[in-house]
Amino acid sequence: MHADKPAKWHIGVIGGSGLAGGIAIEDMQEIPVASAFGEPSGPVSTGRIGPVRFTFIARHGAGHRIPPHAINYRANIDVLKRCGVTDIVAVSAIGSLREELAPGTFVAVDQFIDRTVGREGSFFGTGCVAHVSLADPVCPRLSALVGDAVTRAGGALHKGGCYLAMEGPQFSTRAESRMYRQWGADVIGMTAMPEARLAREAELPYALLGMVTDYDAWRDEEEGVAVADILAVMHANAATAREGLVALAGLLPARREPSPIDTALDGAIMSAPDVLDPKVLARLDAVAGRLYAKEEGAD
């Protein structure tokens, strides 16, 4: 069973398959980690940047083989939790729904609108029902540190922004893109949900660093989104993202003080103890093991 979080930082990074490349990571190891929720996107790569442990997982797998709607988000978060990660930094390509958020800009996202429809969005269900608070889905402490790190690395940062999570894998129609702007969304992408939801259920503070690669389809004077344009901006920004992670290692306080998100499941389990399914609890040993370890200790 998993005890309360340690005072040392262990940063989990979810991003592209090449994100860890080019960073001077000490004692780097690639390790396959099994999940009770199926196959993750691939093995994790773990090592140290300065005094801080970082563990990377490629969201789309090696070579970008898994489309956004087919990613096993539950397994990816579960694997990071099993590795002892304390906080998650997600790096993701995004489209812009605002004129001022030009391609090349980094956005420290702080809100989400979830339009995904076919993905497993929770670790919990029949046999163990839970409802976590998601009013503020991003950890403000971690997001601020990531934003400062990217600025130090020379990136142009926009603090705050609402991310519209679409199902994909197709890009938006012009009508959809205009509607999302009216809803108050600032950027759009296909991967942050249910990733952020699951991180909260796993009691892992989550920050999303979005890299604006293009304007979405709302601009009448431009053609629709093109993959070639997205890849060009992604490659240009990759070095800044990597340098930002290195800068983050230097900005983290020596001691990780507790976060309210570390105990997000306190009071969230609705199922009575006598109806909890042992098989379901066994799958939740990483995600919710902290709670059941306390219960066992009280017996």
Residues pairing with 218 in the sheet = none
Which of the following is catalytic: 214, 220, 262, 277? 214
Annotated catalytic, 27?
A: no
* Average pLDDT along the chain: 92
Inform me whether the pLDDT recorded for 299 exceeds 60: no
Tokens matching residue 138? 């991003």
pTM to 2 decimal places? 0.93
Is the pLDDT at 180 greater than 60? The verdict is yes
Question: Is pLDDT of 289 > 80?
Answer: yes
**What secondary structure letter does DSSP report for 267?**
T
| Alpha carbon distance 198, 196 (integer Å) | 5
Q: What domains does the chain contain, in order, with CATH numbers?
A: 90-298 (3.40.50.1580)
Q: What is the pLDDT of residues 120-139, one digit of tens each?
A: 999 999 999 999 999 999 99
Q: Which two tokens stand for residue 242?
A: 């990597």
User: Is 290 strand, coil or helix?
Assistant: helix
Of 87, 110, 114, 216, the catalytic one is 216
